[in-house]
Amino acid sequence: MPTLTHTTSAGAAPASSEAADFEFDYEELPETSPLTMHLIAGAAAGIMEHSVMYPFDIVKTRMQVVGSPSAVVYSGVTHALRTISTTEGVRSLWRGVMSVVLGAGPAHAVYFATYEQTKKMFTAAAGGNASALAAGAAGGVATIVSDALMNPFDVIKQRMQLAGTGYRNIFDCASKVLRSEGLRAFYVSYPTTLVMNMPFQSIQFGCYDLFRRSLNPSGVYSPVTHVLAGGMAGAVAAALTTPIDCCKTLLQTRGTSTNMEVRAASSMASAARIIYSQQGLAGFTRGMKPRVIANFPATAISWTTYEYFKWMIARRDTKGNI
């Protein structure tokens, strides 16, 4: 696997040949790096990813909601952002973001830690040859674990994103949903979330690995490569999984609907039937544009942040072991 070489400052006489130069492969953190290093890198990446592009996520949710008094027809992403900010205030574009901050940190920490460990296992099983397939499979496994932790926070986030729901804050939202709909409301969309996120993450991780290796065959640390590879991977995955995301949004916001059929939806299949009966095939592409717009920079930020932390940790650990 390609290595990144670090040398002492130019012109300085090295104290020893060992200190003069050393090589390390930042793509795989050193064996001496504790699991907490993956957790820290993953948590930072997750919070950055979800927080920066949050307004576009609100637009996506508003476009996908079915049968809710909050439903508004927007002509496009720009129109939606302008309408929401002028009628509800600019701060409304960030309603529910604290749910993402509280949930995304732990969920992404677990996600990336699981990804790194399972990728090593799959790579070892394949004879030590890293591949996009191993990366994609590892992404799928990591999704199952992290989504179990993130799903309740995602439900709260989407409820908060709707207009006129009357929730004072995320804690008020959580308590009201729990009292009126029970604990099941926080996990009714979990199977659908997995059906969406497993292909999403597998596509994203597989494409990222493919794009990264294509753009940067040498494998040296390159922020530009991580931005481009991460952004393109996220955009592709977001576009392909939008139909399932529409079903997930319906299930997570069903409690705000005045449509009894929507309120009774309990599975991806029932959500898909409702969307098709009320909006036709076009209903499965609603919110695709803001979803792609949000995911390109979001995944670019996530991967760049994560790769930076890995590079810094590997660099520090390798220096310390000289």
Residue 4 has pLDDT above 70, yes or no: no
Question: At residue 319, does pLDDT exceed 50?
Answer: yes
Q: What confidence tens digit (pLDDT) does each residue in 201-256 have?
A: 788 888 998 999 999 998 888 999 999 999 999 999 999 999 999 999 999 999 88
| Residue 117: pLDDT over 70 | yes
> What are the pLDDT digits (tens) for 46-65?
677 777 788 989 999 988 88
Give me the domains of the chain, ranges plus CATH numbers.
47-165+176-320 (1.50.40.10)
pTM for this structure?
A: 0.71
pLDDT, tens digit, 9 for 90 and up, residues 176-205: 999 999 999 999 999 998 888 888 878 888
95-104, 130-139, 187-196, 267-276: which is most confident: 267-276
What per-residue confidence (pLDDT) applies to 315? 75
pLDDT in tens, 249-285: 999 999 888 889 999 999 999 999 999 999 999 999 9
Rounded average pLDDT over 303-317: 78
What pLDDT, on the 0 to 100 scale, is given for residue 52?
75
- Angstrom distance (rounded) from CA 258 to CA 25: 56
Task: State the DSSP string of 223-265.
Answer: HHHHHHHHHHHHHHHHHHTHHHHHHHHHHHSGGG-S-HHHHT-
CB of 278 closer than 8 Å to CB of 64? no
48 CB-near residues (< 8 Å, 6+ apart): 301, 302, 305
pLDDT digit string, tens, across residues 11-50: 333 343 333 343 444 455 445 556 666 677 667 776 777 7
Length of the chain, in residues: 322
**Percent of the chain clearing pLDDT 70 (strictly above):** 82
Sign of CA dihedral 75, 76, 79, 85: positive
CA distance 220 to 147: 32
Confidence of residue 303 (pLDDT cuts 50, 70, 90): confident
Name the pLDDT band for 2 (thresholds 50, 70, 90): very low
Are 139 and 201 spatial neighbours (Cβ–Cβ below 8 Å)? yes
Q: How far apart are CA 149 and CA 229, in angstroms?
A: 27
pLDDT bin (cut points 50, 70, 90) of residue 298 is: confident
Q: What DSSP assignment string belongs to 30-91? A: -TTS-HHHHHHHHHHHHHHHHHHTHHHHHHHHHHH--S-TT----SSHHHHHHHHHHHH-GG
Q: Determine the 3-state secondary structure of 22 from DSSP.
A: strand
Q: Which residues contact 45 (CB under 8 A, 6 or more apart)?
A: 108, 112, 301, 302, 303, 305, 306, 309
Average pLDDT over residues 89-109: 86
Distances 29 to 113, 117, 213, 240 between C-alpha atoms, Å: 11, 11, 18, 32
Q: Which amino acid is at 194?
A: L
Average pLDDT estimate for 285-306: 88
Residue 307, classed as helix, strand or coil, is helix
Closest alpha carbon to 193 in 141, 246, 118, 232 = 246
The least confident of 102-116, 144-158, 264-278 is: 102-116
pLDDT at 285: 95
Helix (H, G, I), strand (E, B) or coil at 7: strand
